[in-house]
Amino acid sequence: MIGKRRRLRRIMRNGRTVIVPMDHGITKPEKGLEDVDRIPKQIDGYVNAVILYKGVVKHSSHLQNSDMALIVHLSASTSLSSDPDDKRIITSVRKAVELGADAVSIHVNVGSRTDASQIVEAEIVSEICDSYGMPLLAMMYPRGNVSVNTETVKHAVRVGYELGAGIVKTPFVENFSEIAESVPVPVIIAGGSKTDELELLKNVERALLYSAVGVAVGRIVHEGMNAETVWKRVCKGKIVKMES
């Protein structure tokens, strides 16, 4: 489908991508993200795409003039819920199209108490995406009473692929190449819990060696630098915008 391929090309550059997820506001507002529109302005030109909820997109004064790809997130739950792992679809693919999205994303917690209903909703979204020529990014996480290891992450990624996702996002674990090579679609790693910058960059470097195609640190993804070099340049403020 030409529409889907054209939209994916805005998100993926030379087979790799830098996506900044900012879909935290509904789950639990993060300190520093009160002025959500400020972040897209700061990262524009450094990243390939940003993930946002529809409300932020509607009120943004920046995105209408941005060349950065837009991914509208469709799933939500709150940290105040009795079951935060119970993700529900709250936005339509049609609304994402109206907002000018280049893709939509969903979140499925495989192994959670309600993973069956989440998978059903994800399958419906996937078919609607096909009708619109809209790429689907599936955030696939082992959750609930399931441990996070190579086998459970590989299973979650496989579910995302089987549902029809064009890109799958999942946690980084050892032997990641086994996971990334188990499906014929791009697999990107999730940021995970907070850590220091150098440790994060080392994890990114390892993930790329293990066949991941994208993370949220631009220079290490697109220019092949090692973690130490990127860390030194970032600390010295020598971040260079990505070429189109």
* Residues that are catalytic: 23, 141, 169
Judge contact between 219 and 208, C-beta under 8 A.
Answer: no
**Strand 167-170 relative to strand 69-73, pairing:** unpaired
Pure H helices in 106-226? 115-132, 150-163, 176-180, 197-209, 218-222
| DSSP count for the chain of H helices, then E strands | 10, 10
- Say how far apart CA 213 and CA 237 lie, in whole Å: 25
- Say how far apart CA 232 and CA 238 lie, in whole Å: 9
- Say how far apart CA 122 and CA 105 lie, in whole Å: 10
Judge contact between 21 and 191, C-beta under 8 A.
Answer: yes
- Say how far apart CA 101 and CA 123 lie, in whole Å: 19
Using CA atoms of 162, 78, 149, 222 in order, give the dihedral in degrees to the nearest 10: 70
